[in-house]
Structure 1
Amino acid sequence: MPIIDTQSEATTSRTWWRNPSAWGGLLAMCGGVFHTVVAALMRQDVWAQIIDEGFFNTVTLEPSADRLAAAEAFWFSVGSFGVPLLLLGSLVTWLIRRGVPVPGWLGCGLAAWAVLIGLVSGFDGGTLILLTIGALLAAGAWTARRAPGPLPRY
């Protein structure tokens, strides 16, 4: 398991904002919160029904016709990519604030995933935001490698 140098210098608020990865992390956090909250609000009547019935065993992978609305509400809101995107953005901003560069493969992987989603289902606003987040993370990794000074030890 790699050891992260905990003595690396944390970035100040001025330098933190100059890093493209910081903007990618913030955009991921905002996008994750937005998607989860708006999707839940769009299905608030179904969520009220789920709360009335109880949470346990409400959603299955093979829902019956009468449970399809509950399954769709779950997979569209908290079961979708919104929560992991929020967590990813939080991790990225946490790393950047501590002076640890985000790996470039993370941004490239996210951008490739966004392109795949766009090719299969069309390039809508959400797909373009995912692509932007991936590009910002990749650009942040690229600029961190080009910055003068030693890279943090792993």
Structure 2
Amino acid sequence: MTLFDTKPVPATARTWWRTASACGGMLALCGGLFHTVTAAVLRRDVWTQVVDEGFFNTVSLDPSPERLAVAEAFWFSPGSFGVPLLLLGSLVTWLARRGHPVPWWLGAGVALWAVLIGSLGGFDLGTLILLSVGGLLAAGGWTTRRPRAV
């Protein structure tokens, strides 16, 4: 693929995952899936309570002390970064498998977001994984935008 090609070159089944973007996408996909499933399992008693009480309008932005567990379960699972990270990872791996480049600024934005989260709340394992996802996506996007030597 040259600088002026408009159509992507689909990757073969053996090579698509060798790019930095594909590795970042797989890491994002796995991290988002892990976070979402683990958060739901860890709070299953609260989710059982939510289903029993009725699913709609059960979470408040200003919860009372007896509803604090429900609000915390929401912000720990569907309201957290797990679902968007899962979707981002799915999109990036889909693009990588079809030979489409991922823009470098997408990875830079994820990396900056991770630095902000780490600065405010501490650099734990999740923040470091998010920083790695951003770095891989930025590196993959940066290398694909540069013209290749002939």
Question: TM-score of the superposition, structure 2-length normalised?
Answer: 0.91
Gaps in structure 1 of 5+ consecutive residues: 150-154
Would the alpha carbon gap of residues 13 and 146 (structure 1) be closer, same or farther in structure 2, given more than 3 Å must change? Answer: farther
* Aligned counterpart, 1:19: 19
Q: Give the AA of the match of 1:26.
A: M
Q: What is the distance in 1 between the residues matched to 2:12 and 2:143?
A: 17
Equivalent runs, 1:31-110 vs 2, <5 Å: 31-110=31-110
Q: Give the AA of the match of 2:74.
A: F
Q: Deviations over 1:38-64 (max 9, x none)?
A: 111111111111111110111011111
Q: What is the distance in 2 between the residues matched to 1:32 and 1:23?
A: 14
Q: Give the AA of the match of 1:80.
A: S
Q: Deviations over 1:95-133 (max 9, x none)?
A: 111111000001011111111111111110000000000
Cα offset, 1:145, TM superposition: 2.3
Q: Give the AA of the match of 1:88.
A: L
Cα offset, 1:6, TM superposition: 8.0
Q: What is the distance in 2 between the residues matched to 1:6 and 1:79?
A: 38
Q: What is the distance in 1 between the residues matched to 2:147 and 2:73?
A: 45
DSSP 3-state at the match of 2:140: helix
**Count of residues in Structure 1 that have an aligned counterpart in Structure 2:** 145
Q: What is the distance in 1 between the residues matched to 2:85 and 2:143?
A: 23
Q: What is the distance in 1 between the residues matched to 2:104 and 2:33?
A: 24
DSSP 3-state at the match of 2:18: coil
Q: Deviations over 1:14-56 (max 9, x none)?
A: 2212210001000001000100111111111111111111101
Question: TM-score of the superposition, structure 1-length normalised?
Answer: 0.88
DSSP 3-state at the match of 1:59: coil
Would the alpha carbon gap of residues 6 and 47 (structure 1) be closer, same or farther in structure 2, given more than 3 Å must change? Answer: farther
* Aligned counterpart, 1:130: 130
Check the 8 A contact 2:33/2:83 in 1, yes or no. yes
- List 4+ stretches of structure 1 deviating above 2 A: 5-9, 145-149
Q: Give the AA of the match of 2:142.
A: W
